[in-house]
Amino acid sequence: MKTWPDVARGKLDHPADDLLSELVRDVPPAEAARYATLLLYAGHVTTTTAIDKGVVLLDSHPAQRAAVRSDPALVPGAVEEILRFPLHPPRGGRPRRAKAGFAIGEHRVEPGDLVLLSAVAANLDEAAFPDAREFGVHRDATGHLAFGDGPYDCLGAPPARLDLQAVFTALPRLVPDGHFAVPAEEPGLRADAEHAAFAELPLTW
């Protein structure tokens, strides 16, 4: 069986019009293979999870689903809202070291402290998103933190947005009568995923 480094080495001899061929031009095959694995993992489970989440959210909000279906111009905004809206409680948080001291309410963070940032909490901030616990495809959800923020924000946010917009534009055409086959609270989550990802998503059509 070929390993990722084997595939990367193969691209040195037979370059193609793809990312791995570009990478092996600049870095050794083993390193290029590590980048490729990172991109595959970081880009795949996150995007498929967002698709699942969107299907569940739209299916459980029929009027909004009908609105998005009848007006494709709503799709980009609906995608932002699907990304913002937390369907599940957070699993942990993103670890960061504080560079400077600051206060949050009555709590004091000192330089060097480890802090866990919760994008779920930020995406439910009423000051940024009024009625934040309501799912609404007509709201302006820009500024959500589903892709992180700052120097380590998501490298793949632009293609992920394109993917999701393509999916939620095409789904009504591909499965016009598609519906979630069990109540939205029923499907379990994968135990092995760092992100809250459905173990399965039964649909009927």
CA angle 134, 139, 142 (to 5 degrees): 110
Q: Of 10 and 43, which CB lies nearer to ligand HEM in the complex structure? A: 43
Distance CA 119, CA 145 (A): 6
147 binds ligand HEM (CB under 6 A): yes
CB of 204 to ligand HEM, least distance (A): 25
CB atoms within 10 A of CB 202: 11
* Binder of ligand HEM out of 154, 193, 196, 201 (CB under 6 A): 154
What the block records as the tokens of 166 is 């393509």
Burial of 31 (0-12, 13-18, 19+ CB in 10 A): middle
CB of 103 to ligand HEM, least distance (A): 23
CB atoms within 10 A of CB 115: 14
* Binder of ligand HEM out of 152, 173, 177, 186 (CB under 6 A): 152
Segment near ligand HEM (CB under 6 A); pick from 85-93, 122-130, 152-160, 178-186 = 152-160
CB of 172 to ligand HEM, least distance (A): 20
CB of 161 to ligand HEM, least distance (A): 8
Distance CA 186, CA 184 (A): 6
DSSP 108-125: EE-TT-EEEE-HHHHHT-
Q: Which residues contact 14 (CB under 8 A, 6 or more apart)?
A: none
Residues in contact with ligand HEM, shown as a per-residue x/- string from 76 to 115 under the rule CB under 6 A: ------------------x---------------------
Residue 108, amino acid? R
Segment near ligand HEM (CB under 6 A); pick from 98-106, 107-115, 123-131, 151-159 = 151-159
- Which residues in the 32-61 window bind ligand HEM by CB under 6 A? 38-39, 42-43, 46-47, 50
- Please report, as ranges, the residues that interact with ligand HEM according to CB under 6 A: 38-39, 42-43, 46-47, 50, 94, 146-148, 152-156, 159-160
